[in-house]
Structure 1
Amino acid sequence: MGKGGKVDIDEPGASSDQKHKTFKWDEVKQNKWIVIENLVYDVSRFSRKHPGGERLMLNHAGQDATDAFLCFHTDMKKVRKYMSPILIGQVMPESDVNPNEERKTELHKDFQNLKLLAEKKGLFKAKPIFFLLHFLQLVLLDLLAAYIIYRSGFANWLAYSIAVACLVIVQAQAGWLQHDFGHLSVFRSNKMNHFVQNIIIGGIMGFSANWWNYRHYQHHAKPNTIKRDPDIRFGPLYLIGKVVPVEFGKKKMAKLPYNLQQFYFFFTLPPLLIPIYFVIETVYFLIKKRKLHIMWISIYLIRWYAMFVPALGLMGTIKLYFLVRVFESVWFVWSTQISHFPMNVDYDKDLSWFRSQLNSTCNIEQSAFNDWVSNHLNFQIEHHLFPTMPRHNYYKIAPDVKELCKKYNIEYQCKTMSQATYDVYNCLKESGELWYEAYNM
C-alpha cells in the first residue's frame, strides 16, 4: 500500500504483467472488475471470502470503488495481504473524458482532501471514556430493571413500567453502541472492535454481529439504491421513492392498497421490525451462512432467563421480551428512517461516493435530546461520509462538509425532528399516489 492507504502498482506480489497491463472501462464493466485508485482488481473469486460479504463487493462491480474502499478500511496492512493476488492491471486513460466524469473526479479529489483534513484534526481518534460511560449506562440500567422486577414483579404497574423503560433504553442504546464498534470507530484493532461488538449485540441484545455487519455495510455502500440496499427491501409491503411505485403500478401489482400505506406503515414496520423480521432474518442468515457460533446469543438468553423468570415465570418473561422489543423497534425505525425514507430512492447511477451519500441522507438538527435519542446519528450525513469516524466528532467536520456541498451545488439537508417525521408520512403518501395513478392508467 502507498501512503494514506493508496494502492501502489509496484507493491509486492504484483507481477510484471500486472504492472503494465491496461484495460478500457468497457472491459472493466463487462468483466465486473473493481477499480481502486485506477488499479483493476478481479474480485470474482475473492468476493466470496470478503469479510463484508460477497454482495457488498459485487455491488461495486464494474465501478470505481476508491472512496468506498478508503472509507471502510482502517487496517491497510491486513488489506494489502489480500489485494496483491487479485491485482490484474490498471485503467487506460480515456482520450475523450465526459465533462460529468471530470466533475466527478474533481469531487473525488476534494473529498479525499477533506478526509485528510479530518485525519489531521484527529477526528478519527476515539475518546475511550465516552464509550466506556455509554457501556456502563447499559449495565446499570439492566441491573436496575432486574432489581425492580425482582422486588415488584407484576404487582406494581408503575414499577413494572419503569423496568420496561429501563430495558427499552438498554436495548436501543446498545444498538447504537454496537454500531460504533461494528464500524471500527473505537479501537485501533479491528479484532478488538469486533470482540466488543459481539459482547454488546450478542450478549446484551441477542442478535448476530455477523448478520448485522453483512446487511449494514451494504446499506452504507449503496444507500437507498434499489436491489442494493437491504434497508429499503420491503417486498410487497411498502413502496418508497418515485421509481418502484410507478413500476408496480404499470405492472398492475396491487398486493396491498399502497395509496393508504402512509397510515398502515406506522402500525406495522416500526413495532414489528425488530421482534419479528430481524429475528427471522438473523436465524435465516446464520443457517444459510453456516455461522452457527451462537455463544453470544446464548449468553443473552441465559441472562434473561436468570434475571426475569424467577420473578415473572416463563410466560411473563416472554411477554416482557416482546413488550421491550416493540418499543425498541419503534425507537430504532423512527430514529434511523427519518434520515433516509424521504430522500432519493433509485437504481444504481454509479455516482461519486460524496454525491450518493448526500442524495440519500439528511441530518436532524443538533440538540441534547436529538443527540441522545439517536446517539449522534442525527449527523447521518457525516456518518455516511466517514463511517469509521467516532460519532462524538461528527459535529466538528460538519461545517467543512457543508462548504464542499456549496462548492458543487449539492443540497445539504438538515431538518427539525418534527419536520423529518412528517416527511416520512408525506413521502409514503406521495409514493402511494404515484402507484395509484400508474395502476389506473
Structure 2
Amino acid sequence: MMFEEKPEGNGSLIDENQLYLGVKQQANRKPGASGKAKFSARQEANDKCYLPRKSLSMYTWQEIQRHNQETDQWLVINRKVYNVTGWADRHPGGRKVLSHYAGEDSTDVFRAMHPDPDIVQLYLKPLLIGELAPEEPNQERNKNSQLVEDFQELRRTLETMNLFNANLGFFFLHLAQILVLEALAWVIVWHFGSGWLVTMFISCLLTVAQAQCSFLQHDMAHLSMFKKAKWNHLMQIFVMGHLKGLSAKWWNMQHFQHHVKTNIYLKDPDVNLGPFLVMGDLQPVKYGKNKIKFINYEKQHLYFCMVGAPLFMLVYINMKSILAMYRRRAWKDIAWVSSFYIRYFITFGPFYGIFGTMVLIYLIKFLEGPWMAYVTQMSHIPMKMSNEENQDWFSTQVLATCNVEQSFFNDWFTGHLNFQIEHHLFPTMPRHNYHKVAPLVKSLCAKHGLPYVNKPMLKAFGDTLRALKKYGALWKEAYCMHPQT
C-alpha cells in the first residue's frame, strides 16, 4: 500500500491543533482563518495525492541505512524516503522517536502511532526526497517479509472490523468513576471528620481514583476520540495535569519512546533505570564488568519491593515530571499541574490545613506507587531486553511484552494493560477491544513460531521479582569474575 492511498494509523505523535492551524493557513494564507477555511485536512491531503510531481530519486537500502545519525536522519514509509533531519526538533512527539528509526523502514510504527496519516502527510510532503529502487524489498533484507505482510493484513482486517473506533461511553464511564470517588472522599471527610481511620479510608478511595486516572490518561495519550483535535488535546491535559498532577508533555515523550523501541537499551526510557536497577541479560553484565555498584544489585528485587515500588509515583515519576517542566519552561503544564494542588487545597484544606493536605497528597501517591509499578512493569521486566536488532514491528513488540489473564477484576485493576501485547501492536486501539483482537494475534504468533505469553496476575507479579533477582545474580557474577583495572 502506497502512502498516498490513505493507510489508517493509530496513536498520535502530532499535535493536531497545530496541524489544523497549518491547513487553515495554507488554505487562506493567513493564520487563524475560520469558517470555510476549516477545510478538512484529510480532504486536502487526498487532493494533493493526485497532483503530478517530479520524478523521485531512487535509493537502495544500503544507501538509506547510512543516514542513521542524529544529524542525518532518513526514514522509509511505504517505500517513500523522507529526510526528517531538519524537522526532528519540531516533531511534537519528540526528536528521539524519529532518531530511533533513522535509516530504517518505519511503515508499521508510523501507522501504529498516527491516527490520521493523511493529515501528517501535509508535513511529510516537503520532506520527501525519493523512494526505494524497484528491485529493493519493502523492508530491510534481515526482516521476515512474510511476517510483515501478514501483520499488515491483520491490521487491515481489524480496520475493516472497526476495532479502532472508540466507544465514548466506555471512557466517560471511567471518568465518572474517578469523579465520583473524589466526591465521595470529600463527603466522607465532611460528614465524619478528619480522624485517623477516616483519613486512611479516603486515602484508599483517592488512591483508586488516581490509579484509574493513570489508565484514563494512558487512553487520552493514544486515542483520537473527538473530531476536533483541540478537544482531544484539552481532555488529555485535563486528565493528566488537573486530575493527575503530572506533565502531559513529559509523559507523552517518555511513553512514545517506550512504545516505538520497547525494551531496547538506550532507546526505551523504561529500561534505562540505572543506577537504581539493572535489567535484562546485557546491562547487569556491563555494570558488573565495569565495577559499577551504586547499590548492591544482587538484592535489587528486595529494594524494588520495599523502596522502589512505594516511591515509584511519589518520588521517581513526580520528580521527573517537575524537572522536565522546569527545564523546558512548560508553562501550560505547570499551570495545569498547579491546578491539581490548588483543587486539593480547596477541597481538603479546611479539614487538614496546608501541611496536612500535602501529607494526604503524598500518602495517596505512596499508596499508588506499588500498584502502578507492578502493573506497568510486570509485562516488560521478565521479557526480552536487547540492543538494537532492527527487527520487524510485530516481533519486537511480541518478544518484549506479555499478557496477564483476562477477568473482570484483572481488566479493571490494570486498566486493560493486562493486554500489553495487543496494546503495543496497536497502541491506540481502544482498550475495550483488546480481548477481541487477542485470538487473532495469538494465531499469527503461532503461525510464525513466536511466543504468545499469557499468565495469571500473581505469577506475573512474581516473575517481575524473579527476573530482577536473576539480573542481580548476573551482575554479581560479572562483578566478582572481572578484577578491577
TM class, shorter-length: over 0.9
The counterpart of 2:383, out of the listed 321, 343, 353, is 343
Identical counterparts, % of pairs = 39
1:239-258 alignment runs, 5 A limit = 239-258=278-297
Aligned to 2:122: 81
How far did residue 149 of structure 1 move?
2.1
- Which TM-score applies when normalising by structure 1? 0.94
Does structure 2 retain, via aligned residues, the 8 Å contact 1:13–1:84?
no
1:265-344 alignment runs, 5 A limit = 265-293=304-332, 294-344=334-384
- Secondary structure of the residue aligned to 2:310 is helix
**Residue range with higher mean Cα deviation, 383-392 or 280-289:** 280-289
Q: Does 1:150 align with 2:190?
A: yes
1:121-200 alignment runs, 5 A limit = 121-155=161-195, 157-200=196-239
How far did residue 254 of structure 1 move?
1.9
The counterpart of 1:354, out of the listed 394, 418, 425, is 394
The counterpart of 2:461, out of the listed 421, 427, 437, is 421
Q: Which amino acid aligns with 2:65?
A: K
How far did residue 161 of structure 1 move?
2.0
How far did residue 13 of structure 1 move?
8.2
How far did residue 45 of structure 1 move?
1.1
Q: Which amino acid aligns with 1:267?
A: M
Aligned to 2:100: 59
The counterpart of 1:233, out of the listed 257, 272, 276, is 272
Does structure 2 retain, via aligned residues, the 8 Å contact 1:14–1:87?
no
How far did residue 187 of structure 1 move?
3.1
How far did residue 272 of structure 1 move?
1.1
Unaligned runs of 5+ in 2: 9-44, 69-73
Q: Distance in 2 between matches of 1:342 and 1:100?
A: 29
How many positions carry a matched residue from both structures?
Answer: 436
Q: Distance in 1 between matches of 2:324 and 2:317?
A: 10
Q: In 2 relative to 1, CA 44–106 (structure 1 residues): closer, same or farther, beyond 3 Å?
A: same
The counterpart of 1:25, out of the listed 56, 61, 76, is 61
What are the superposed Cα offsets for residues 122-179 of structure 1, whole Å, 9 maximum, x if unpaired?
1111111111111111111101111222333432x33222211110011000110111
Q: Distance in 2 between matches of 1:426 and 1:49?
A: 42
Aligned to 2:80: 39
Does structure 1 retain, via aligned residues, the 8 Å contact 2:78–2:138?
no
- Secondary structure of the residue aligned to 2:129 is strand
**Residue range with higher mean Cα deviation, 401-410 or 31-40:** 31-40
Q: Distance in 1 between matches of 2:467 and 2:52?
A: 50
The counterpart of 1:222, out of the listed 261, 266, 269, is 261
Q: Distance in 1 between matches of 2:139 and 2:57?
A: 26
What are the superposed Cα offsets for residues 309-353 of structure 1, whole Å, 9 maximum, x if unpaired?
110011111111111001111111111110111001111111111
Q: In 2 relative to 1, CA 352–188 (structure 1 residues): closer, same or farther, beyond 3 Å?
A: farther
- Secondary structure of the residue aligned to 1:186 is coil
Q: Which amino acid aligns with 1:29?
A: Q
Q: Which amino acid aligns with 1:134?
A: H
How far did residue 409 of structure 1 move?
0.3
The counterpart of 1:383, out of the listed 419, 423, 431, is 423
Does structure 1 retain, via aligned residues, the 8 Å contact 2:79–2:138?
no
What are the superposed Cα offsets for residues 360-389 of structure 1, whole Å, 9 maximum, x if unpaired?
000000011100101111011001111111
How far did residue 103 of structure 1 move?
5.6
Does structure 2 retain, via aligned residues, the 8 Å contact 1:148–1:160?
no
What are the superposed Cα offsets for residues 225-251 of structure 1, whole Å, 9 maximum, x if unpaired?
101111122121111100011111111
Aligned to 2:451: 411
How far did residue 216 of structure 1 move?
0.5
How far did residue 434 of structure 1 move?
0.8
- Secondary structure of the residue aligned to 2:411 is helix
| CA RMSD, Structure 1 to Structure 2 (Å) | 2.1
Q: In 2 relative to 1, CA 429–297 (structure 1 residues): closer, same or farther, beyond 3 Å?
A: same
How far did residue 252 of structure 1 move?
1.8
**Residue range with higher mean Cα deviation, 105-114 or 164-173:** 105-114
What are the superposed Cα offsets for residues 189-239 of structure 1, whole Å, 9 maximum, x if unpaired?
443222111111111111111111111011010111101111122121111
- Secondary structure of the residue aligned to 2:76 is strand
Q: In 2 relative to 1, CA 27–287 (structure 1 residues): closer, same or farther, beyond 3 Å?
A: farther
Aligned to 2:29: none
Q: Distance in 2 between matches of 1:323 and 1:334?
A: 18
Does structure 1 retain, via aligned residues, the 8 Å contact 2:105–2:140?
no
Q: In 2 relative to 1, CA 99–164 (structure 1 residues): closer, same or farther, beyond 3 Å?
A: closer
- Which TM-score applies when normalising by structure 2? 0.86
Q: In 2 relative to 1, CA 146–400 (structure 1 residues): closer, same or farther, beyond 3 Å?
A: same
Aligned to 1:48: 89
- Secondary structure of the residue aligned to 1:411 is coil
Q: Distance in 2 between matches of 1:143 and 1:389?
A: 30
Does structure 1 retain, via aligned residues, the 8 Å contact 2:61–2:140?
no
- Secondary structure of the residue aligned to 2:141 is helix
Aligned to 1:92: 133
Q: Distance in 2 between matches of 1:120 and 1:42?
A: 32
Q: In 2 relative to 1, CA 183–98 (structure 1 residues): closer, same or farther, beyond 3 Å?
A: closer
Aligned to 2:414: 374
